[in-house]
Structure 1
Amino acid sequence: MSGTLRNPTIRSGRSFDLGKMNLRQLWIAYLTYPTILLYFALIAVSFGLAVHFFAGWFQTAIAALAVILIYPVVWYLLHRYVLHGHLLYKWRFTAALWKRIHFDHHQDPHLLDVLFGGPATTLPTIGAVTIPVGWLIGGPGSAATAFCAGVIITCIYEFFHCIQHLNYKPRAAWIQRMKARHVLHHFHDEDGNYGITSYVVDRALGTYYVDARSRERSPTVFNLGYDLEQAQRYPWVMRLTGHAPKDRPDGARPGSDSAAQGNRHAA
């Protein structure tokens, strides 16, 4: 884990550490991060294509609305059944993918470098979800609109995801609640609160919970079920990591209140 931040670059070792950053530092990091800059460029390009192939105001509005409604459902399904699934780490050729897209984030929840999804996996997923929907609504113009909306929502998701791991207590009560639910997902029981900005799907499918008293603490909240036994059977993620899976964050004491320790500023 990287050391204490002492310099204005807000970098510590190999990574930005959200647990040691304030809101101003987050804005600087977010607005200069290469992945986010790439997303901004794609928003501009897709917006230009939407204007060039303009499908009409109705089709454009419907395409954007469809993405807004579909996005949290798709995110929930991917998060619950793919990112938290066990299939990818059991195959040599997909172990590195699973490690990068989610395992590393749960092992070190405050590291910005593994909080953002990789563009190589995120952008094709956004395209696969949004472009066909938009095309069916109004052809190439609506497809560009839908993709643009998907990337914009992704940027919003990523920023609020950073807020949820930031050493910062939001002023707005609704952001405090959002952050508290996500902290529970990372530090108490990972089998719930899969949403980022909305927990509507969690509520509908019975995976929403409001506090640590609602359920017992999960022993796999930091390793997603990839414990030492699984690592010995399927060693590829462990080999890539260079050490055995952690069952608590760095610096945590056995038996400590991990939810509180994970972020004292959550609520």
Structure 2
Amino acid sequence: MKQVSSSAKPGIWKRSHYLDRMTLKDLWIAYFQYPAIIAYIGLAIASIVTWFAYPASLLQTVAAAGVVVVLYPLVWYCLHRWVLHSNWMFKVPFLASTWKRIHYDHHQDPNHLEVLFGALHTTLPTIAGVSIPVGYAIGGIGGAAAALAAGLITTCVYEFVHCIQHLAYKPKSKVIAEMKKRHMAHHFHDENGNYGITSYLWDRVLGTFYDRPERPKKSPTVFNLGYTEEVAVRYPWVKTLSGGIVATGHPRKRGDTQNADREAA
């Protein structure tokens, strides 16, 4: 594996970064240089400017933003459980690359920072599709602008918390530490549960919340989401895009075995 420096400098995104090798300071610097985060912040500012041009009432503005913030955990839960952890996207040739980018690669190596951030071509339509209609129904153009700004800012918060959960750092906040515990179980023990990131309310409501002692056996598909060598025989597109291999085991323990598999392929 290519050696990666953890120091954050200008042009940081010209090389790969791994959260288990970064400090909190490195993360802060990298976070605000990442193109998707810059795009979210820029669009949030543009939405606020739009609100000033077409203002909604205070009540409409608060309601539009509030509804989006409340909806966000439910929307994320549904997408995470029934889309990102689906077993149908990799079966469709033109969706295989999207599934690989938006979630398979993240589970293959949960600490790889570039693939932890959502891809703009998938996140922006989702944010806009959820927030703008709700905001417009509440307060017209101004309400839509307020809702979109709330959705973008909430996404920025979500992305940073998600980064913290994978960083080699013990959060001082007990709340965030508990979030990290649940998310680490999702990535390194059993992917079939703990789908929330900043809230596990819907995991509790829908029966997917768990503590590791409740599931003593580790999931064999925690790093490949069920996309195994056997599955790849019939649906080869993700394997082809992954250099001809389906990685198994902990990402930091693959080493020469995966290189040998790639050479054999």
TM (norm. structure 1) is 0.91
Deviation at 1:6, TM superposition (A): 6.1
CA distance in 2, matches of 1:158, 1:242: 28
For residues 188 and 101 of structure 1, the distance between their equivalents in structure 2, rounded to whole angstroms, comes to 20
- The C-alpha deviation readout for 1:192-245, integer Å capped at 9, x for no partner, is 1101111011111111112x2111211110000101111111000010110322
Are 1:232 and 2:233 an aligned pair? Answer: yes
Contact 1:189 1:218 in 2 (8 A): yes
Structure 1: 5+ residue runs without aligned partners?
A: 254-267
Cross-structure match for 2:68: 67
Matches within 5 A, 1:196-235: 196-210=197-211, 212-215=212-215, 216-235=217-236
Q: Gaps (5+ residues) in structure 2?
A: 255-265
1:3–1:13: 8 Å Cα contact kept in structure 2? no
Q: Do the aligned partners of 2:6 and 2:26 also contact (CA within 8 Å) in 1? A: no
Which has the larger displacement, 243-252 or 136-145? 243-252
Asked if the contact 1:2–1:12 (Cα under 8 Å) also holds between the matched residues in 2, the reply is: no
Counterparts in 2 of 1:135 and 1:244: CA distance versus 1, 3 Å = same
Change (3 A) 1:220 1:146: same
Tell me which stretches of 4 or more aligned residues in structure 1 moved more than 6 Å. Answer: none
SS in 2 for 1:39: helix
8 Å Cα contact 1:231/1:244 also seen in 2: no
Moved more, 4-13 or 153-162: 4-13
Contact 2:54 2:142 in 1 (8 A): yes
Q: Partner letter of residue 45 of structure 2? A: A
C-alpha contact 2:127 2:151 (8 A) present in aligned 1: yes
Secondary structure at 1:32's aligned position in 2?
coil
Distance 2:14 2:223 in 1: 22
Amino acid aligned to 1:5? S
Quote the residue 1:9 is aligned against.
9
**Conserved? CA contact 1:5–1:12, under 8 Å:** no
Mapped contact 1:72–1:195 kept (Cα < 8 A): yes
What code does the residue aligned with 2:9 have?
A: T
Indicate if the aligned counterparts of 1:47 and 1:144 stay in contact, CA closer than 8 A: yes
Q: Which residue number in structure 1 is paired with residue 258 of structure 2?
A: none
Question: What amino acid is aligned across from residue 214 of structure 2 in structure 1?
Answer: S
Change (3 A) 1:7 1:151: closer
- Measured at CA, do residues 229 and 35 of structure 1 come closer, stay the same or move farther in structure 2, by a change above 3 Å? same
For 2:46 and 2:238, the matched residues in 1 are separated by: 36
How far does residue 91 in structure 1 lie from its aligned partner after superposition?
0.8
**Residues in 2 aligned to 1:45 and 1:30: alpha-carbon distance in whole angstroms:** 20
Q: For the aligned residues, what is the CA RMSD? A: 1.6
Alignment map for 1:129-144 (pairs within 5 Å): 129-144=130-145
The answer on whether the counterparts of 1:134 and 1:142 sit within 8 Å (CA) in structure 2 is: yes
Residue 12 of structure 1, CA deviation: 9.5
Percent identity between the aligned chains?
53
Q: Structure 1 residues 239-248 or 76-85, which shifts more?
A: 239-248
Counterpart residue type for residue 169 of structure 2 = Y
- Structure 1: distance between partners of 2:13 and 2:29: 15
Q: Deviations over 1:132-161 (max 9, x none)?
A: 101111111101111110000000000000
Match of 1:263 in 2: none
Aligned residue for 2:118? 117
Structure 1 segment 1-267 matched on structure 2, within 5 A: 1-5=1-5, 7-9=7-9, 14-210=15-211, 212-215=212-215, 216-252=217-253
How far off its partner does 1:4 sit?
4.5
Greater displacement, 100-109 / 8-17: 8-17
What number of residue pairs does the alignment pair up? 252
Instruction: Indicate how the Cα distance of structure 1 residues 7 and 41 shifts in structure 2: closer, same or farther if over 3 A, else same.
Output: closer
Paired residue type of 2:205: A
Q: Structure 2 counterpart of 1:74, which letter?
A: V
Contact 1:2 1:13 in 2 (8 A): no
* Alpha-carbon contact 1:75-1:195 (below 8 Å) kept: yes
Q: CA–CA distance in 1 between the matches of 2:220 and 2:7?
A: 36
